[in-house]
Amino acid sequence: MIFISLFVSVALLKVAHGFGISSIRASQGEDVHRPAQSGDEAQDIELICQLQLNPGDHWTSCAWTHEFQDVWGLTNRQGYVMCSVGSINDNGKYCNDVGNLIISQSYGGYDQDNAWVGPYVERLTHITAETYCGLRISKPNANDTGIWKCLVNDNSASSIFREEINLFVANKSEVVITEPVRRNGGDNSIWTDITTGQTEIRATCESRYGVPPPQLSWYIDEPRNKISDKDARISTTTTTSNSAQGSNIEITKSSISMEINERSLNAYGVRGEHGFFSFSLGCYPRQDTYFPQVGFSQNPAEVMVFGKNGASSIFQVTTILIILFNIVTAIKLF
């Protein structure tokens, strides 16, 4: 009797669970450090919203929505696309966008500023079955990064069930020099003077939009002339920030502190002239697995360094000695 009672209780509990979304997952791209590849040749991404069903349950509509950063829709809120279907027979159907960026279906759908949304949704197709509702993203690109929401109606049409997933697609990093600060559009160059002991230079480089977060490398004059860790103090920090799309984006910063002297100038091929020298101090992002280095075209960021090394006085003394030597020689000959 105890066994029968327990069996009945478990059965009733199972029925009581009712309709719902049991899980949501992506075939790839759920980790910012292992994002999905981007590009026309990249593998498709499949988003799956798995359903919990009891006998007699079925879903009647399913929609996937995705918001865009810095895009505003007609409803004065964040711009988004919404791909919606109402039957398991819609498997393979292309997205029919009913988001808030559409002006009118009869007039081409989108205004001039948002015309890019048309080709964007053409890459999206539905994956449907009795027990799940999904979306396939072909030719993934950086605009796919962010929150994707699954909304499902049950057969009673009385409830809407929601779940969301954070998706990351590879994007080439951009870097900027944040220290020294460029104020009012002016110069942010670094000045140093070896003759007075003002030999330390400092700078900070920040990676933006990079997925996955890149490694940052410092160089002098050109990226192949990489600064060694033994010649400078380099520290790197990574912080997490929420984007307008709701996804967590990691921002990488690298700071460098370096002593400039005759040895370091010679080591990195910097040649002075008349007691002065100059070189560019730069950083570039490395995302080798996703964006291999090709001719060091990683959108480097640079700041100019100008300095005095005191060679002017040495140059002048040397010149004077040469002149005196020539005069003495000429007198002897005379």
Per the structure, the complete domain to which residue 95 belongs is given by: 19-167
Residues 38 and 135 in one domain: yes
Instruction: Specify the pLDDT at position 247.
Output: 53
Distance CA 176, CA 216 (A): 11
The two three-digit tokens of residue 321, written as one number: 């000695």
Instruction: Give the predicted TM-score (pTM) of the model.
Output: 0.79
Tell me, yes or no, whether 184 and 224 share the same domain.
yes
| Same-domain status, 179 and 266 | yes
Residues 113 and 151 in one domain: yes
Instruction: Based on the fold, state whether residues 142 and 195 are members of the same structural domain.
Output: no
201: CATH: 2.60.40.10
Q: How many domains does the chain have?
A: 2
Q: What is the pLDDT of residues 38-65, one digit of tens each?
A: 999 999 999 999 999 888 888 999 999 9
For residues 160 and 179, state if they share a domain.
no
Reported as a pLDDT band with limits 50, 70 and 90, residue 326 is: low
Alpha-carbon gap, residue 96 to 85, rounded angstroms: 8
Report yes or no on 295 lying in a domain.
yes
Q: What percent of the chain has pLDDT over 90?
A: 62
Helices (H), ranges, 39-106: none
Which residues on neighbouring strands pair with residue 146, listed in sequence order?
A: 167
In this prediction, residues 91-114 reach a mean pLDDT of 86
Of 21-30, 55-64, 295-304, the range with the highest mean pLDDT is 21-30
Angle at 152 between CA 147 and CA 153, to 5 degrees: 155
CA atoms within 13 Å, Cβ hemisphere of 60: 11
> Residue 294 above 70 pLDDT?
no
Q: What is the mean pLDDT of the chain?
A: 84
Q: Give the residue from 139, 167, 195 where a domain finishes.
A: 167
Domain presence at residue 324: no
Q: Is residue 332 part of a domain?
A: no
Q: Specify the pLDDT at position 92.
A: 95
Q: Output the pLDDT for position 57.
A: 86
- For residue 200, is it within any domain? yes
- Domain end marker among 138, 167, 196: 167
Say if 321 falls within a structural domain: no
Any domain includes 33:
yes
Q: Do 25 and 162 have their domain in common?
A: yes
Share of the chain above pLDDT 70, in %: 81
Report DSSP letters for 11-65, one per residue. HHHHHHH-SEEEEEEESS--BTTBPBP-STTSPPEEEEEEEE--TT--EEEEEEE
Question: What distance in Å separates the CA atoms of residue 223 and residue 295, rounded to the nearest whole number?
Answer: 9
Helix/strand/coil for 13: helix
26 and 157 assigned to the same domain: yes
CB atoms within 10 A of CB 158: 8
One domain, residues 23 and 160: yes
Q: Does the pLDDT value for residue 318 go beyond 70?
A: no
- Establish if 94 belongs to a structural domain: yes
Q: Give DSSP secondary structure letters for 198-247.
A: B-EEEEEEEEES-BSPPEEEEEESSTTSBPPGGGSEEEEEEEEEE-TTS-
Last-in-domain residue among 167, 194, 223: 167
Asked if residue 180 and residue 140 are part of one domain, the reply reads: no
Instruction: Look at residue 250 and tell me if it is in a domain.
Output: yes
Q: Tokens at residue 184, please? A: 């009012």
Residues 6+ apart with CB under 8 A from 124: 64, 81, 83, 94, 95, 135, 136, 137, 138
pLDDT in tens, 254-287: 999 999 999 999 999 999 888 999 999 999 999 9
Residue 85 has pLDDT above 70, yes or no: yes
Q: In terms of domains, do 23 and 159 share one?
A: yes
Shared domain for 162 and 192, answered yes or no, is: no
